[in-house]
Every structure is written in structure tokens, then in C-alpha cells.
Structure 1
């Protein structure tokens, strides 16, 4: 697991997440992940909605319970085991399901062609541009980005570079290219850059053109 980054207030970014087939739910996500999983937080109203949307009889899905002062994630058993007990943070939001729930960022853009291209490229192997060069693929939703994958940037002469670029372009998806020691650092740099660029936008605002694939951004110092 990559070393975690500081969880200061400005490390949270606007997002929208889904849980299995439930949602989407407005959220903020941290700029880094835990074991590849996004880390969201929610207002009290949204946390209560998520709890209401998660029926106790769903097989294999932890039960989410909203109490007067906490969100609890419950596991199987009688009585059920409390996997997580989450109280509001200093911003009054609930950051729960980190490591216990399969959150995913929501996008209305179909990423399947890009996902297949990335799986094929990684399965066959490709020479990277450098070991610290990263691509952050995402769907551009104006005021927020939905990160799809962070992977080492292929060398521009490698077939994988063109295949991935074409899959992103034809699907209406975006990507940043940057340098960083770790994938988490590259993702944080991308979220910071996007947030600065779109700081004045509100949900629902239309942006055109969206970020183009292979847009270069500067490395983000830590």
C-alpha cells in the first residue's frame, strides 16, 4: 500500500459515488486511496439516505445504520458486529465505509472501451515513458472529475499509447499526464489541478470542450 498523504481540509474534492447499484450520492473524496479504494465523506442528510437505501436483507452487503450521532457499518452475525463507528468530522461530515464498502465514483460516460483497452495493455505489458510518469484517466463532469484509473504512461512509441489514447478520445473521456513518485501522488496532483481549473463551476454547469486526453500537467510538489 502506498504511504498515505495528509488529510488536511483541502485534500477533499467534490465527487459523486455509488455503492453497488445504489446512488449516485453527492460526496467529497480524498485525493488518495486506500488499497485502491476511494475514500468518500457525506453530509448527514446523504449519510441518512445511504442508510435508508441499504436494506438489511441484501446478501453480502454490510448494513449501514444511521444513529443520532454516528453512522455504523454492521457485519453479519446475531447480534451484528460493528465494523465501523463513524462520528462527524470537524466539517460535520461522515467519512465511512473506508475499507468496508466498495465505493466507486459515478460517471454518466461509458468507460467500457477504455477499460478493455487498459486491461489489454497491462496484460500484454508495455514500456513506460519513465517509472515516474503517470496517466490519470477520468470522466470530465464540469465541476467534478470521476477518476477511472491511474497507470504508468506508456512510451509514446509503444502501441499501448495510441490504443489507450484512441479509446479515451472515442469514448469522450479525458486524461492528465504528470510525473510523481507514487500513483497516489499523481492522482492528488490531478485532482488539485482540476479543482483549481473548475473552482468557479457549480454542479450542472456545462463545460465545452472537456479536458482532452493526454493533457500534460506539471508535477505537484509535496
Structure 2
């Protein structure tokens, strides 16, 4: 079983907001991430939401700080308090569980998306082996996909596509895709423990690297 208490460094976006540095777990809400942020990042979110139109039917909530509390208010003339988010151990779980937070993708992956759409139906491999596709951003990874490991021909096609778009992938034995993602994030975090968060690096994760499961 994957460890839902472990957090991993990444960057997240929500619609046009972001990207923001954050930490995430593999446990999701309706497929979306449930990130946590440091206060300086929350202050950026406050400034960014203040610049959005909140008076139209398509407006968005705004975030403000009242002391240590981040207050989320609904859009519109009759603005109401939607969330009072207080820090837990220095972290704000802002919008976790109801804002559509997603991992920031630093470059488009059109070739991979086209390959994925046209790939033959995916079958769970014997023993439960999964492919975790990701962007290598030095200190943090952005997970694009988790699916059953393919047969050899499909795997060769996948490797060629990933090389073209400078993407990496891990092949992980696991019972569930959540377990596979957890193992992948742990492995990446351990390998990049000495990389500074703001360091500019070149992608150097290889496709189809086999790693241990949980």
C-alpha cells in the first residue's frame, strides 16, 4: 500500500493561476492534486487572484490573508467566505480537495499525446508492472501518465517517443497505479536530493528505467 503521508516537491497550476512551487501526495481528489504551499507562495496566490475578474458569472474566487489565515471568498457581488485555511506545520493546504490543481507541465508533449491516443489497448502486465511517464525538471518531476507496462514492440515505440520529447519513464512492479506513482516519486526524490530547488538542469532521466516497488 502506498504511503499517503509522504510529500513530494513539484509545481502546480490551477486554470491560469501559477505555476507555484508546492508539495503533493499521490492521493488525489477527482483526479486532481491536493497541494500544500508555504506562506510566501500563498502571498503570490493572493496577488494573482486579486488581479482576476470576480464580478462576472465566469469569475473566480479570491484569496486574502487575515493574519495567518488564508481566506477564500466566492466570486460575485455577494462574496461569501468559502474557506478559512490556517497553516499546519507552516504549510497551507489551499484549495486542496475542491480546486482543480494540476501538475505544471513545462513544455508541451504533442508527440507523446498523439502516441498515447493511438496506442493499442493497454493490458496489465503479469505481476502488476506499470510505466510511469514524467518530465524531469531537476529538483522535481511532473508525472504525465501511469499505465500498465506494454509488450516489447509497444515499449520500443514508447521509448522512441519519449526520447524525442526528452521525457523519462520508470517501469515499476506494483499492485496499483497509485503504488507505482508513489514508488516513482520516492525514487526520483532520493536521486535528486542534492539538487537545489531553483537549479537549472538539463533532463537526464532515461526512458524505461526499471526501479523497485514499494
Counterpart Cα distance in 1 of 2:74 and 2:127: 40
Counterpart Cα distance in 2 of 1:214 and 1:60: 43
Question: Could you say what secondary structure the match of 1:41 adopts?
Answer: coil
Q: Which runs of 4+ in 1 moved over 4 A?
A: 206-209
- Note the C-alpha offset of 1:209: 6.4
- Note the C-alpha offset of 1:145: 0.8
- Note the C-alpha offset of 1:208: 5.8
- State the partner residue of 2:148: 152
Matches within 5 A, 1:28-107: 28-54=23-49, 55-58=51-54, 59-76=58-75, 79-90=78-89, 92-107=90-105
Counterpart Cα distance in 2 of 1:79 and 1:147: 39
CA contact (8 A) 2:3 2:182 kept: no
CA contact (8 A) 1:128 1:155 kept: no
Could you say what the CA RMSD is over the residues aligned between the two structures, in angstroms?
A: 2.4
- Note the C-alpha offset of 1:64: 2.5
Question: Could you say what secondary structure the match of 2:152 adopts?
Answer: coil
- Note the C-alpha offset of 1:189: 0.8
Q: 1:109 to 1:77 in 2, by over 3 A?
A: closer
1:69-89 Cα distance to aligned partner (Å, 9 max, x none): 222333345533433321101
CA contact (8 A) 2:9 2:140 kept: yes
TM-score calculated relative to the size of structure 1 = 0.83
In structure 1, the gaps of 5 or more residues are: none
